């Protein structure tokens, strides 16, 4: 009888503690390998990169239909940007073509929209010309950029009628901030905006993937000292 009871008994407390400890160790090892925060940042970067590609394609369609770009309707009379003009626009400026349109006699690069939301009754030209869906304006790249500029997109156009257009963003995943495996860029503002590859000229590579400048792209554009952007294409 005693032998039967012994066979029916469960784990001892020590055995249970050992099993729990092993499970905990394995869980930590799996989390360390997967790194859920990095995976979430990779997924976010992938989404933003797809959005950037959609915006760039919308610019190309817009130009094919009207032989102009959205920012060319803004500016002082007689001094509006032309197809030759180099441009650098943040996603909440009126020239970017997503958020609210404004008076035509304003600077497309510095005038931000009064409201950037899906409820706007005066969306930008890419929306009104049906190059992008109205819901596009509700994305973080446009809705939250005023307070978190690292969420934004930047449109850069080379000077000249054949100047290439790039839509750039600030990557969040460490793997996408690695200058050894990624092509990163400085975007410089001013009278003639320019795009410079990381590690060339005045475009210094970030000192680390956690550098504060990653979260201050507008400041970086002004200083031109930190390469923080990935661009499409």
pLDDT per residue as tens digits for the range 14-40: 777 777 878 877 766 665 566 788 899
Q: SS in 3 state form for the chain? A: CHHHHHHHCCCCHHHHHHHHHHHHHHHHHHHHHHCHHHHHHHHHHHHHHHHHHHHHHHHHHHHHHHCCCHHHHCCCCCCCCCCCCCEEEECCEHHHCCCCCCCCCCCCCCCECCCCCCCCCCCCHHHHCCCCCHHHHHCHHHHCCCCCHHHCEEEEECCCCCCCEEEEECCCCHHHCCCCCCCCEEEECCCCCEEEECCECCECCCCCCCCHHHHCHHHHHHHCCCCCEEEEC
Q: What is the pLDDT of residues 72-127, one digit of tens each?
A: 988 887 888 999 999 999 998 889 998 877 666 678 877 776 656 555 667 889 99
21-35, 38-52, 53-67, 190-204: segment of lowest average pLDDT = 21-35
């Amino acid at each position: 009888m005693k032998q039967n009871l012994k066979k029916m008994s469960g784990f001892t407390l020590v055995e249970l503690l050992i099993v729990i400890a092993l499970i905990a160790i394995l869980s930590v090892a799996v989390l360390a390998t997967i790194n859920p925060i990095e995976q979430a940042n990779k997924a976010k970067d992938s989404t933003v990169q797809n959005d950037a590609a959609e915006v760039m394609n919308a610019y190309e369609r817009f130009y094919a239909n009207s032989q102009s770009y959205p920012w060319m309707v803004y500016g002082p009379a007689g001094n509006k940007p032309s197809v030759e003009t180099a441009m650098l626009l943040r996603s909440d400026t009126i020239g970017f073509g997503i958020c609210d349109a404004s008076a035509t006699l304003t600077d497309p690069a510095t005038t931000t929209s009064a409201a950037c939301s899906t409820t706007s009754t005066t969306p930008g030209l890419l929306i009104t010309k049906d190059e992008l869906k109205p819901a596009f304006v509700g994305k973080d790249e446009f809705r939250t950029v005023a307070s978190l500029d690292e969420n934004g997109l930047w449109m850069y156009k080379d000077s000249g009628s054949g100047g290439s257009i790039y839509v750039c963003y600030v990557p969040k995943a460490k793997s996408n901030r690695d200058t050894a495996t990624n092509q990163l860029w400085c975007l410089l503002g001013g009278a003639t905006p320019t795009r410079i590859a990381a590690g060339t000229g005045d475009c210094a590579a970030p000192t680390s993937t956690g550098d504060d400048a990653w979260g201050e792209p507008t400041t970086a554009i002004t200083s031109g000292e930190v390469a923080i952007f990935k661009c499409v294409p």
